[in-house]
Structure 1
Amino acid sequence: MRRRAGGAGRDRGQVSILILGLLGVILLLVIGGVDVTAAQIARARLLDASDSAALEAANALDEVAAYSGGIGDSVVVSNGTVEQAVEDNLGARPMPYGISAWQVARGTGTTDGRTAVVVLQGTADLPMTGGVLATLGRSVTITVESRARAPLQ
């Protein structure tokens, strides 16, 4: 009876388990990378919408405040004019791709009567794990904030 050198027969199948484990790790990294990228792109698109709404809101003159208190170095805005301008701006544009729902969040308005602040919250659609998260009753919520001011010269 001949023995094999080095006991090679006992190591059979060990490499396939290692390969399966590495493929699992690589698959998780790819899925995670795709979803993180999708969430970041959705955030950028939501920020674009927020910036656009803030720029429009910065030009929404509060006529009552302007006539009673005058105009200083920038357009006078109020919480009401900012909120109305934001609603008009967002209502006129389609929801960004990659966002399944959005809403104007708390904090939208003005802090000093000159700067328009827009806070948007959106739910991101994740291509790889979105269905699993929805089944679990979870979602990825993104909140962005934009500020704009319309200076007068």
Structure 2
Amino acid sequence: MIELLAKYSLSEIVAFLVTFALAIKGVISFYDWATERLKKAFSKETQRDKEKEVLEERLVYGADKMRALDKQQKQTNEQLKAIHKQLEMLISSDKDDIKADLTKDHHYFCYKKKWIDDYSLDCMQRRFERYVEEGGNSFIEKLMDEVKDLPNQPPSDLDD
């Protein structure tokens, strides 16, 4: 140390210490800057990774929901087909019932009574309209024409 003081002046040593302190400060500042910069870079990558994971989770959740909805839609379609089949069967059965009922009424009014009251005729016409709405199209129309042609009073009342 004595040699150092003999070789350099006090102002040179102070200048050297100040320069050395500034260099250390520069190294520390560089270190702080570099670590901060790396943290930001890694933080951005980490944030991107987190966002990517969130998006992937959402995609998986959405795909699972779509599969569940697709399965539910298939079940609903199967149920609708079964209901449709049953409804067609019920309509067919209803048409058969109406046809049988109108035929029975036709025979009763045309062959037995030979006349029909207004209320019975109205009921038969409404049943026939439903029969046609349900897709019935057979000899029933001819039977209804025969019933409509019947008198609406008993034959004994007509003679008076």
Scaled to the shorter chain, the TM-score interval is 0.3 to 0.5
Higher relative contact order (CA 8 A, sep 6+): 1
Using the size of structure 1 for normalisation, the TM-score is 0.44
Using the size of structure 2 for normalisation, the TM-score is 0.42
Q: Which has the higher helix share?
A: 2
